[in-house]
Structure 1
Amino acid sequence: MQKNDLKTPYFMIDESKLVANLEKAKLLKELSGVKLVLALKCFSTWGVFDLIKPYLDGTTSSGPYEVKLGYETFGGETHAYSVGYSEDDVKDVAEICDKMIFNSQNQLAAYRHLVEGKASLGLRLNPGVSYAGQDLANPARQYSRLGVQWDHIDTAVFDNLDGVMFHMNCENKDEDAFIRLLNDISDKFGKHLDKLDWVSLGGGVFFTWPGYNIEKLAAALKTFSEKHGVQLYLEPGEAIITKTADLVVTVVDIVENEIKTAIVDSATEAHRLDTLIYDEPASIAEASEQGAHQYVIGSCSCLAGDQFCVTQFDEPLKIGQRLHITDSAGYTMVKLNWFNGLKMPSIYCERANGEIEKLNEFGYDDFKRSLSQWSVS
């Protein structure tokens, strides 16, 4: 199977780049003693879990189906968390998870009897401090529903709790900023953490970013763990799969209205939703900062503002030309949808030996079945 033979749009995961990130994760674990569980809300493409499993300790979820997926396809530790469980959700996953983390004291009180004796009990706490570039993704934003506010906690809860989870980072590439948050948690909660077995510090710690001081992060984590006598966990998502996959598209038309727009056979609304939600332009591998030819890279959806980016190229683009939208692993494949009835990208992995492996492809029957189903008598 050759890349030129693949029909666009498709995702291509690069095994070598993924393993490079995983080696950094391995180093962090060795230096700090922290355990790492993959955040399935960011990346759930289980066809490459064979690469990830040897490096990480398990998975963490944000909903019941992710719990089941982690349990069935990844193994190791299975952490279950949800902002709002139903009783049926708890019953469904209590038998297969290792840790059940509740978002509120109400949910903990209502459902702990379904979990005790089966899984370790945890509670999400909101320390009121965070690191996030956008308010939409800020766990400590005003009126946040995520976790128990630090000044609302019934301290008696710590007497019958195994662990807690803090998630207060989003794409934090600054180890010093993270360490300040860590120290704040220790100051606010330290006497309570001393009673626990484990503490999860959530995800959003971008320790695989170029230039990140892993050794400094590891030392801070180890000090915290030893100070409070707890097993620490991190829940990396983007840190594991950043810069490991491209969304490959084809230019299907070029139109002009003051500026040229290259329309491609994909859409942010359907295939790269975070580009639209967070208004963060995508990067194109073929682009050039000094290029003389400027284009909007526009989607083929009907949404007027649906575009990937505005960028420059050294040479004019041509209809039929392929473009590689880089860093397209996180929060993409988990958010694919059928808006406009667009063709959903296939998913491939380029193995280290150069072999191209198809992980999944989708067709009209998948689109049709997602909307209704009926039996023919």
Structure 2
Amino acid sequence: MLNQIDKIKTPFFLIDEKKLIANLEKAKLLKSLSGVKLVLALKCFSTWGVFKIIEPYLDGTTSSGPNEVRLGYEKFGKETHSYSVGYSEEDILEVRKYADKIIFNSESQFLKFYKHVENKSIGIRLNPGISYANQDLANPARPFSRLGVPFEKMTQSLYDNVDGCMFHINCENKNADNFIKSLDYISEKYAYYFDKFKWVSFGGGVFFTWENYDIKKLALALKDFSKRFNIAVYLEPGEAIVTKTTDLVVTVLDIVENQKNTVIVDSATEAHRLDTLIYNEPAQIRESSSNGAYNYVVGSCSCLAGDQFCEANFDKPLEIGQRLHIEDSAGYTMVKLNWFNGLKMPSIVCKRLDNTIDLLKSYDYTDFERFLSDETIR
């Protein structure tokens, strides 16, 4: 007899509420031990159908564009932070309707738009010239970085007129000692300015929900920093909140052989799990086995030659019609979905604590048809 999950057509994202709450409980522990505030990074995860699960644990949302700011305000509530590498005047006029804190990337943007947001809490992004990132593409301190004001470019007039600052220098930093090292460096370098600021955000990429992460050590360091400078501290977790909570469930459509066996599944990295392709980081398949005797490339159904999820071993031969679960498919996936090749867009479902299944979103031809043209506005 088919259960609820079996009745849902693939591909679909399966969010597990139990796993999500487990991450959120770690966030709750970090908050209680450190006194920091946590705002969800919507650029990583914006699936508002599960915001009711997340909202009790966090303090608000942080956004990178006008649509995210509005979504956080309307669907999450609490604090709403806005940062953009480059605002237009139209953006600022929209963002100020919803944001409590508005963070500028440069002094020129601050000077241009300050008059529009004087009644908001204003911040500036700073670039300390150090970072923790495994990929150069995601390294905010890479040479000639456009992200944030370098230390040597700071001006007194700027810092006399902002309330706080933001450092976003981490990407999947899974070790408290690594973070504390950068915190110590920043504390010494910017001590003069911290004494003037009301708040500081250390951005996202601090992976405190990773297995064996020393949350207590991180919490103590953040608490000491806040007390030393009498300043409110924020973190902007995204991946840390949703890591290992969600599978992309796919079906094997075909098996082809060209020196290696490749299974073709009804999904694609370029369309449904873009970071797998961008960062060349192989996906993990739940059904795989490191010692399995049967090796397969898990390939997509797109026309892009290099579009594949991973290469993995299995204990038994795979079969056409079999389902596979591509693990850890929440962060930077649903927010990057696209209609490449006109592929079927994955539905989004949530497995609740009582094992019932809620359909949060489904797509059909109408969504594809109206994606790039809309006759209703002609």
Q: TM-score, normalised by structure 2?
A: 0.98
**CA distance, structure 2, for counterparts of residue 139 and residue 230 of structure 1:** 24
Equivalent residue of 2:160, what SS? helix
User: Which residue of structure 1 aligns with residue 336 of structure 2?
Assistant: 335
User: Which residue of structure 1 aligns with residue 298 of structure 2?
Assistant: 297
Q: 1:83 aligns with which of 63, 85, 106?
A: 85
Q: 2:64 aligns with which of 62, 65, 69?
A: 62
User: Which residue of structure 1 aligns with residue 206 of structure 2?
Assistant: 205
User: Which residue of structure 1 aligns with residue 350 of structure 2?
Assistant: 349
User: Which residue of structure 1 aligns with residue 24 of structure 2?
Assistant: 22
**CA distance, structure 2, for counterparts of residue 130 and residue 156 of structure 1:** 27
Equivalent residue of 1:160, what SS? coil
**CA distance, structure 1, for counterparts of residue 296 and residue 83 of structure 2:** 43
User: Which residue of structure 1 aligns with residue 253 of structure 2?
Assistant: 252
State the AA in 1 paired with 2:296.
Y
User: Which residue of structure 1 aligns with residue 272 of structure 2?
Assistant: 271
Equivalent residue of 1:349, what SS? strand
Matches of residues 184-195 of structure 1 in structure 2 within 5 Å?
184-195=185-196
Q: CA deviation at 1:374?
A: 1.2
Residue 192 to residue 322, structure 1, CA distance change in 2 (3 Å): same
**CA distance, structure 2, for counterparts of residue 224 and residue 155 of structure 1:** 23
Q: CA deviation at 1:151?
A: 1.3
Q: Which moved more, 1:149-158 or 1:93-102?
A: 149-158
**CA distance, structure 2, for counterparts of residue 66 and residue 253 of structure 1:** 38
Q: CA deviation at 1:31?
A: 0.4
- Once the two structures are superposed, residues 142-181 of structure 1 have per-residue CA deviations (whole angstroms, 9 ceiling, x without a partner) of 1110000111111331111100000000000011010010
- Once the two structures are superposed, residues 253-293 of structure 1 have per-residue CA deviations (whole angstroms, 9 ceiling, x without a partner) of 00000000000000000000000000000000000000000
Q: CA deviation at 1:140?
A: 0.6
Residue 376 to residue 48, structure 1, CA distance change in 2 (3 Å): closer
Residue 218 to residue 376, structure 1, CA distance change in 2 (3 Å): closer
Equivalent residue of 1:232, what SS? strand
**CA distance, structure 2, for counterparts of residue 353 and residue 150 of structure 1:** 52
User: Which residue of structure 1 aligns with residue 121 of structure 2?
Assistant: 120
Matches of residues 1-377 of structure 1 in structure 2 within 5 Å?
2-117=4-119, 119-375=120-376
**CA distance, structure 1, for counterparts of residue 332 and residue 52 of structure 2:** 20
**CA distance, structure 1, for counterparts of residue 302 and residue 315 of structure 2:** 27
**CA distance, structure 2, for counterparts of residue 254 and residue 275 of structure 1:** 21
Equivalent residue of 2:15, what SS? strand
Q: CA deviation at 1:376?
A: 9.7
State the AA in 2 paired with 1:112.
Y
Residue 317 to residue 160, structure 1, CA distance change in 2 (3 Å): same
State the AA in 1 paired with 2:209.
T
State the AA in 2 paired with 1:168.
I
**CA distance, structure 2, for counterparts of residue 243 and residue 184 of structure 1:** 31
Residue 222 to residue 376, structure 1, CA distance change in 2 (3 Å): closer
Structure 2 unaligned runs (5+)? none
State the AA in 1 paired with 2:58.
L
RMSD (Å), alpha carbons:
1.0
Equivalent residue of 1:294, what SS? strand
**CA distance, structure 1, for counterparts of residue 194 and residue 141 of structure 2:** 20
**CA distance, structure 2, for counterparts of residue 184 and residue 157 of structure 1:** 22
State the AA in 1 paired with 2:24.
L
**CA distance, structure 2, for counterparts of residue 189 and residue 322 of structure 1:** 52
State the AA in 2 paired with 1:180.
K
Equivalent residue of 1:25, what SS? helix
**CA distance, structure 1, for counterparts of residue 340 and residue 288 of structure 2:** 27
**CA distance, structure 2, for counterparts of residue 371 and residue 341 of structure 1:** 12
- Once the two structures are superposed, residues 302-325 of structure 1 have per-residue CA deviations (whole angstroms, 9 ceiling, x without a partner) of 000000000000000000000000
Equivalent residue of 1:206, what SS? coil
Query: Where do 4+ consecutive residues of structure 1 move more than 6 Å?
Result: none
**CA distance, structure 2, for counterparts of residue 257 and residue 375 of structure 1:** 48
Q: TM-score, normalised by structure 1?
A: 0.99
State the AA in 2 paired with 1:90.
I
State the AA in 1 paired with 2:95.
V
Q: CA deviation at 1:95?
A: 2.3
State the AA in 2 paired with 1:368.
E
Percent of aligned positions with the same letter in both sequences?
66
State the AA in 1 paired with 2:353.
A
**CA distance, structure 1, for counterparts of residue 306 and residue 64 of structure 2:** 30
State the AA in 2 paired with 1:26.
K
State the AA in 2 paired with 1:233.
Y
